[in-house]
Each structure stands twice: as structure tokens, then as C-alpha cells.
Structure 1
């Protein structure tokens, strides 16, 4: 597959093995997303929360596609990995735009799909231009955090942002581990149990759990556009 589709645009520290799963630590650590997806599915079953339903399937998608990429390491499955991430981050972007009153509810689905498909089609062009397509995910995350900060200033005093800030802290720690991996600050190629990027998977999965709790709490209180400040 690597000969057919080409190499991904990044090589993580873990040495590539000649095996069906050629980066064991980076691949199997995606089970953390499966655990979070199952927890969200359970909470959906118990509470009927639509937010938990959304996080159940999107987190499962992220974990499955990321596993496929790290098991095979080629551009085709890396693109699949980015599809999973785009589905998740652009769902949150679309929901936050609606919560801010900038996007009608009936257009949330269309904007989510449009951003996901459009940015997926953008990846091969960025690859040709040698522009890191990881920047798209970073930009989306900054939009999510920025819109949440904007919304927090308008929030009802009864609304707690504790879970959101826990998620931000965990994502920051996850990003630090991943950067340490790719820059080889934290690097033992022959350690197939724990890698910096594997730590990213575990910590970012926990961040998604707290993000799901945050959105479920907002839904329980009535997920509605924030009133304008006067």
C-alpha cells in the first residue's frame, strides 16, 4: 500500500515493523477512543442524550480510522485518519457556531458535511504543495476553543465550564506528547508499548470524554444560541 499510495507526510518515532500492525504502540493505543465511544454509547442509552450519541459514533470513527493508519502507514489510510478527525472537529465547530447564534439549526448538518468533504478534498492539494495538512485540524481546534471562550462570557451563571477546561488541559498535554514524539525529544523507536504519539491518543480520548460531558450538560440545560451582550 505504501508503494501504491505513497508515504504519509509525517513519520512518528516508533519504528515500523514488518507485521500486519506495523506500529503497535501507536495503533493499539487507539483502543482508548473505543473505550470513550462505548462510555458515550452507554450514557446515550441511559439518558437519551443526543450529544452522547454524536460523540459515540464520531469518537469510534476517529479511533477506527487512526488504528487503520498506524497499522499500515501509507497516505491512503492517513487520509482516512484525517476524515475521522474532520468529522469530529467540524461537528463541534458547526454546533458552536449555532450556539453562538451565527448559524441556524437547520444548516448545522450542511455546514458540517461541507467542511468535512471540502477539507478532505483539500488534503491532496496541500500534499502537492507540501503544506502540512495537520494545520487544518489545528485551525479547527482553535476555532472550537475560541467560540467556547466567546460563549463562556455569555453563559448562564449556572452553566459550568469545568469539563471544557479539563478537556483543554488534556488536549494541551496530548499535543505536548505528540510534538515531543515527532521532534524526537521523546523517542525510543524500539519501544512498542509506549510512545509520545500513543500518549496523544490516550490523553486526547480523555479530552473527548470531558468534551462529551460538557455538551451533554449544555443539552440538558437547553442547547440554544447565546443571547447578545448588551
Structure 2
């Protein structure tokens, strides 16, 4: 039986979610432009790794919205979690200029933060990501880096819109059978592109 968790899916067919499936091309387009920007700025391998994960997110999500099985759901979720964990390591290295041995602590700290948020508030894996962006912006503001603090504030606001579109998908089915999950893909592709771009810009500005 297919995993039927989205408004657009009406049956077990491969193309039962054509819009949800094809809007994943946005992740590949975002990865292409992110790669061009990363090369132009000379950002290090850790930022390039984010570009690779961005492309894999698109491929994994496309697989899930066509095959719609539990193993495909893992392909959908795992690259997103990998991107989150990688970014919380890249952020302290790139923006806070910490040594790698300290930057790696971002991963277990984020995982612990995510568990705590879900125990207290709920909201799955994406609410901690949203709150994490807010925390990044606050940290940069405290450091006096208003430019990048505003960048993260804007990206967090966009991700808030994106998360809302993901959340209301099934709620709007009666009036809008297509649902809103496809818009989550489009917004999220832009969010991830901007996260990579701002990290690459920070490296270029520092050098």
C-alpha cells in the first residue's frame, strides 16, 4: 500500500502526485545555481557538501512522491536531516569562526535541541530547524553582525511560510484538491538555496 499522506494523492499509481513530484525539480535548479555561486565565491568543501545534499533532497523527495512507499519515505527524510545537521556544523565554522573541533559540537547540540523542542512543544523535525535559524540570527546580532542577522531573519520568515504551507496541505483538500505541499517544495528550495548562498558569501567576505 502506498503512503497516502498528501492531498494530491488519490491512488497507488506512480503519477498520482504529478505536481508534488515535479516541483522537486526546484531543488535541482536551486542546487545548480547554488553550485555556481559556491564556485564563484571559492567556498570550502563543507559548503559544497550542502549543495550535494540539496540535490539529493530533490531526488529523494521525487522518489517518495512517485513510489510512495515506506523505504521511499526514508529517502525523502534522510537527506533533509543530513542537510540540517551539516548546516549546524557549517554555521559555527563559517559565521562564528570556530575551529572544527568545536564546530562539530553543533550536530549533537542540534539533535538535543530538537528532542527538547519536540518534548515540550511538538512539531516534528522542522520546528527545531525554524527555531535554529532564529537562534542563528540572534547569535549574529549579539556579535554585531547585523547584515547576516537580517539574512537569517528573512530566511527564517520564508521558512515559516514554507512550513505553514506544508502543515495546511490536508486541511485545504476539500476546497483545493491539489493541496499546498507543492508550494512547500518551491519555498523550501529557495530557503535551502539562500542558506547555502549566505554561507558562501560569508566565506568570501571574510577572505
**Which interval holds the TM-score relative to the shorter structure?**
0.7 to 0.9
2:64 and 2:123 mapped to 1: Cα distance?
14
1:41 and 1:99 mapped to 2: Cα distance?
17
Aligned to 1:128: none
Structure 2 residue ranges without an equivalent (≥5): 116-121
2:174 and 2:109 mapped to 1: Cα distance?
34
Do structure 1's residue 205 and structure 2's residue 189 form an aligned pair?
A: yes
2:141 and 2:42 mapped to 1: Cα distance?
25
Q: What does 1:40-55 align with in structure 2 at a 5 Å threshold?
A: 40-50=34-44, 52-55=47-50
Q: Contact conserved, 2:138 with 2:149, CA < 8 A, in 1?
A: no
Aligned to 1:39: 33
Do structure 1's residue 13 and structure 2's residue 7 form an aligned pair?
A: yes
Q: Contact conserved, 1:177 with 1:199, CA < 8 A, in 2?
A: yes
User: Residues 178 and 102 from structure 1, CA distance in 2 versus in 1: closer, same or farther, beyond 3 angstroms?
Assistant: same
Q: Deviations 1:35-59 (Å, cap 9, x if unpaired)?
A: 0000011122333223652332121
Q: 2:168 aligns with which of 180, 204, 214?
A: 180
Q: Deviations 1:168-206 (Å, cap 9, x if unpaired)?
A: 2221221221122132367533x4xxx300000001111
1:73 and 1:33 mapped to 2: Cα distance?
19
Q: Deviations 1:108-136 (Å, cap 9, x if unpaired)?
A: 45864x799x89xx9xxxxxxxxxx9612
Do structure 1's residue 217 and structure 2's residue 201 form an aligned pair?
A: yes
Q: Contact conserved, 2:137 with 2:148, CA < 8 A, in 1?
A: no
Q: Contact conserved, 1:180 with 1:196, CA < 8 A, in 2?
A: yes
Give the aligned CA root-mean-square deviation in angstroms. Answer: 3.3
Aligned to 1:138: 127
The number of equivalent residue pairs is 199
Aligned to 1:147: 136
SS at match of 2:176: coil
Q: Deviations 1:98-117 (Å, cap 9, x if unpaired)?
A: 468697413645864x799x
Q: Contact conserved, 1:100 with 1:147, CA < 8 A, in 2?
A: no
Q: Contact conserved, 1:96 with 1:144, CA < 8 A, in 2?
A: no
